[in-house]
Structure 1
Amino acid sequence: MPVVIKRVLAWGSLAFLIYFMAFRPEAAAQMFKSIGVALVAMAQGLGDFLTGLMT
């Protein structure tokens, strides 16, 4: 992917994130909480997998 397209997508994503947090703070907070819960669940699953390998 050309560098120009990557830059445009990155700046567009940042602008959308700022807009989303400014005008829909409750929805933005809920989205970030959901992402955090998913990351914790994935880490827990990986830990359970590695523990299962070691026992």
Structure 2
Amino acid sequence: MGPKAKKIILILVGAFFIYAIFTSPDKAAGIVSNIWGVLVDGFNAILTFFDTLLNNN
């Protein structure tokens, strides 16, 4: 995928988020909150994995 295609996709995704925020701010906030929760849970799982790996000598 070329740089132009990536730029167009980023612009479309950004436009969609702006549209979603203006049309339904509560749902948009819920989606962002859920995505953030998934990222935090994933990061914590990775930390737990490495902590367990390093402590099982």
Whether the TM-score (by the shorter chain) exceeds 0.5 is yes
Q: Which moved more, 1:3-12 or 1:36-45?
A: 3-12
In structure 1, what residue type is equivalent to 2:30? Q
Is 1:23 the counterpart of 2:23? The answer is yes
Q: Which runs of 5+ in 1 are unaligned?
A: none
Deviation at 1:7, TM superposition (A): 2.3
Distance, in Å, in 2 between the alignment partners of 1:8 and 1:18 is 15
Q: Which runs of 5+ in 2 are unaligned?
A: none
Distance, in Å, in 1 between the alignment partners of 2:22 and 2:34 is 19
Q: Cα RMSD over matched residues?
A: 1.0
**SS in structure 2 of the partner of residue 8 of structure 1:** helix
Q: What is the number of equivalent residue pairs in this alignment?
A: 55
Q: Please list, as runs of the form range in 1=range in 2, the aligned pairs for 1:39-54 lying within 5 A after superposition.
A: 39-54=39-54
In structure 1, what residue type is equivalent to 2:28? A
